[in-house]
Amino acid sequence: MQFIFPGFLFGLLAIGIPVLIHLFNFRRFKKVLFTNVKFLKEVKQQSQKQRNLKHLLVLAARILAIAALVFAFAQPYIPLDNKKAETGQKAISIYVDNSFSMSAVSDKGPLLETAKAKAREIVSAYAESDKFQILSNVFSGANDRFYSKEEFIQKLDEIEIDPTTKSLEDIIQKQTNFLANSGYKFKKTFIISDFQKSFAGNKSIKPQAGVEVNLIPLKSSTAHNLVIDSVWFASPVFQPNQPLNLVVRIKNLGDESLEGGTVSLKLNAVQKSISGFDIAAGETKDVTLGFSVTGSGWQKAELSLTDHPIVFDDTYHFTFQINNEIKVLALYQIMPNVFIQKLFNTEPFFKLENTSINQVDYSKLGNYDLIILSGATAVSSGMSQELSNYLANGGILTIFPAEDKGKSGIDAFVQEMGCSKFGAIKTTPAEVSALDFQNELFENIVENERQNLELPKVKKYFSFAPNSINPSLPLMKLRNGDVFLKGYDKGKGHIYQFAVNINEDWSNFQQNQLFVPIMFRMAFMKKSCIPLAYTIGNNDLLTPIAAIKTSKKPNVLKKGSFEIMAEKIVRNNELFLTENNQVKEAGLYELLDADNKQALQTLAFNYNRTESDVALLEPEEIKNLFNAEGIKVYEKSDIPLNTLIKQEENGKPLWRLFIWLALLFIAIEILLLRFWKNTQPTPSPALS
């Protein structure tokens, strides 16, 4: 047994007061007349014994009452795990997980409400003088201060489910850093969460020394969850009135299989496609939805499936743009190439512009889906830099060499682009013998890859010098092993380098059945650098369309009544926008011109999917996350949390027992004094 306030034990000196009273209590004897004195000695002896016994019992009761009262004030306790009781002000930091997973239901109701109830129990276990920090997933300046009990409860009631996610390491670091600078001797943290595996992570966590960590895991009764994880298009080609195939990745993160599930697609608020699926427990399945788009411009899409009770990840918003034309720029040295003109002028969807390489408007290069360099024998350094920027932003560049005194004349340019130099011209006739059908350029370009295709025949061609700096992909090969077409990745774009020029002196490629589909595919292949969707809470850099990039005006992000300024930011000489984590609700947002409020672009935002995984850590697994001793995990118990904390803080208290003992001894004293009467001698009759 130990004492919280051992100084009160000096009060045991008060025991001397009843002892002195009993020692010096010389009571006056009462005179009794006896007719016969022969019994006087016997009566005197009996009265003396009874009186002494009574006095001793009363003395003992008083001594024990005083001792019990002194012990009660000293607050004795039986320590748990040999832990000494703490006295003085304490600094307590309490984190309440308010992520989407806390909307799940336990046997006591929604997990968030259970977490709030636990937080109230924690606060009630401490003294009024103690100070409290409150944390949720929404870090703000209000977290960096202490509150009283009453203020803490007010702030606690304001916490609601929020899409922001934080890791366990983030929370521990935030709490311990704040408490370490608080100046208080006793520092404690409490973390109330369902402890998802995604929240806990797999890194070893070591809290700062001197900060006590207490973990309170909550468990939901939800054991299943379906989630739309991600989406992408099977082909990057977006053309009006042409079929599109959208791939939807669905995950079953629960322990129950599902049969007869459905996922549906709405496009511009109109139901466009629906597909059924069966999915086993723990399985990931890709479902393909086919549809077509009749108009052009920004397309606003929404995918949805039905699943309860976790619903935040059952909807996925995304946007994409369908252009009503494909712009092609053909650069030439002396005169335009007639085969390129005939090719793209036959289809109204393509808008071809022929421009001399010496008269290019650099500011418009980003507007073109394909740039063809044909017959050029010199490229300026400025043009080279602008084409490099064009490729970095996802552009497509196709190079057809020209002969300049036995050389290409653009070797410096192709080297700067990371391509192979053009070597010697070979005049031995050859024939294309192989295509890389695994490459996206040739994917589905013919109905049957094994059919007898009439492949291009070559009269002369440039050989390619070895390139160890930027390895290329040989997309089309000649029968002798030389390369007819090479492909390179450059930034976010692609470069296609042919070994021949487009005229009849080099090959019959411009008349071959593969010429049209290959060139059209190149024109369609400019990948939009604009993502289909962004994730709330990640503070992703938003990629604007070219019109916004060239404008110096501010822009507004708007959804319904919600409206914020989108800040412009430059990274690696490229302009982006940022919403500074102000978007909190999933959906479609219009990017407006700040002056005339005209919609320029549509952006989609979705909730983070890390909260979708319902797998939780067991208490022992939670302990193993920490590289430290003394981590306390409060497992499920019927004992209120405030009682457990008090026992943990002060051991098993005994002061109530001593209060009852003091009252008992006082009652015994009263009973002794009230009902124990000394026996009086009975006088004998007088003798005559």
Least confident window among 77-91, 515-529, 626-640: 77-91
> What is the mean predicted confidence (pLDDT) over 440-444?
80
> Residue 620 is encoded by which pair of tokens?
């022992």
Q: Is residue 614 part of a domain?
A: no
Alpha helices in 311-396 (DSSP H): 338-345, 381-392
- Please report the pLDDT score of residue 47 as a whole number: 64
Across 28-41, b (16+ Cβ under 10 Å) vs e yields eeeeeeeeeeeeee
Read off the pLDDT band of 3 (50, 70, 90). low
pLDDT tier at 368, thresholds 50, 70, 90: very high
Q: How far apart are CA 135 and CA 518, in angstroms?
A: 58
**294-318: b or e for each residue (b if 16 or more CB lie within 10 Å)?**
eeeebbbbbbbbebeebebbbbbbb
- Which tops the pLDDT comparison, 636 or 507? 507
SS3 241: coil
Same domain? For 671 and 590 the reply is no
Report the pLDDT value the prediction gives residue 518, as an integer from 0 to 100.
92
What pLDDT does 85 receive? 54
* Region of poorest pLDDT, from 243-252, 425-434, 451-460, 464-473: 464-473
User: Domain holding 452: CATH number?
Assistant: 3.40.50.880
**How many other CB atoms sit within 10 Å of the CB of residue 568?**
18
Neighbouring residues of 202: CB distance < 8 A, sequence distance ≥ 6: none
Confidence of residue 63 (pLDDT cuts 50, 70, 90): confident
Residue 508 and residue 515 in contact, taking contact as beta carbons nearer than 8 Å: no
Domain around 296: 226-323
Q: Quick one: average pLDDT of 62-85?
A: 73
User: Does 356 fall in a domain?
Assistant: yes
d(C-alpha 686, C-alpha 668), whole Å? 41
Do 352 and 301 lie in one domain? The reply is no
In this prediction, residue 34 carries a pLDDT of 55
Residue 420, φ and ψ in degrees, nearest 5:
-75, 145
pLDDT, residue 571, reads 82
Give the per-residue pLDDT at 86: 61
Same structural domain, 390 and 495: yes
Q: Average pLDDT, stretch 506-534?
A: 89
Residue 181 pLDDT: 83
Dihedral in degrees, nearest 10, Cα atoms 391, 397, 403, 405: -10
DSSP codes, 43-57: HHHHHHHHHHHHHHH
Q: What is the mean pLDDT of the chain?
A: 85
Q: How far from 185 is each of 64, 92, 119, 179, 181, CA to CA, in Å? A: 37, 11, 22, 10, 11
Q: What is the CATH number of the domain that holds 180?
A: 3.40.50.410
Determine which of 213-217, 522-526, 592-596 has the lowest per-residue pLDDT on average: 592-596
**In which residue are the tokens 């700040």 written?**
594
Shared domain check, 115 and 180: yes
Model confidence at 652: pLDDT above 80: no
- Position 688 scores a pLDDT of 39
| One domain for residues 32 and 97 | no
* β-pair partners for 542: 577
Q: How many domains does one find in the chain? A: 5
> Are 439 and 559 in a shared domain?
no
Sign (positive/negative) of CA torsion 139, 140, 146, 152?
A: negative
Distance CA 350, CA 50 (A): 125
Instruction: Identify whether residues 345 and 375 lie together within a single domain.
Output: yes
pLDDT in tens, 15-49: 877 777 777 764 545 565 655 555 555 555 556 67
CATH number of the domain bearing residue 252? 2.60.40.10
pLDDT of residue 687: 43
Q: What's the pLDDT tens digit per position in 280-332?
A: 988 999 999 999 998 888 999 999 998 877 889 999 999 998 888 889 999 99
Is residue 442 located within the same domain as residue 494? yes
pLDDT in tens, 145-173: 999 999 999 999 999 998 888 889 999 99
Using the 3D structure, point to which of 524, 550, 570 is the last residue of a domain. 524
pLDDT of the residue at 537: 86
| Domain closes at, from 524, 553, 586 | 524
Q: What is the residue type of 210?
A: G
Which of 358, 394, 386 lies closest to 490, judged by CA?
A: 394
Same domain, 179 and 278: no
284 and 362 both lie in a single domain: no
Residues 128, 46 share a domain: no
| 63 lies in some domain | yes
**Are 71 and 120 within one domain?**
no
The pLDDT, as a whole number, for residue 323 is 81
CA–CA distance, 238 with 348 (Å, rounded to integer)? 16
pLDDT band at residue 597 using 50, 70 and 90 as cut-offs: confident
**Is there a domain that residue 529 lies in?**
no
* 611 assigned to some structural domain: no
pLDDT over 90 percentage in the chain: 40
Residue 31's pLDDT is what?
61
* Residue 684, domain member (yes or no): no
Would residue 125 count as lying in a domain? yes
**8 A C-beta contact, residue 341 and residue 354:** yes
Question: What integer is the mean pLDDT of 98-113?
Answer: 86
- Identify each DSSP E strand in 207-269 by its residue range: 211-217, 226-233, 243-252, 258-267
Least confident of 241-245, 278-282, 373-377, 646-650: 646-650
Residue from 405, 393, 392, 391 nearest 496 by CA: 391
Mean pLDDT of 578-591: 93
Domain boundary among 264, 296, 323: 323
Residue 688 lies in a domain: no
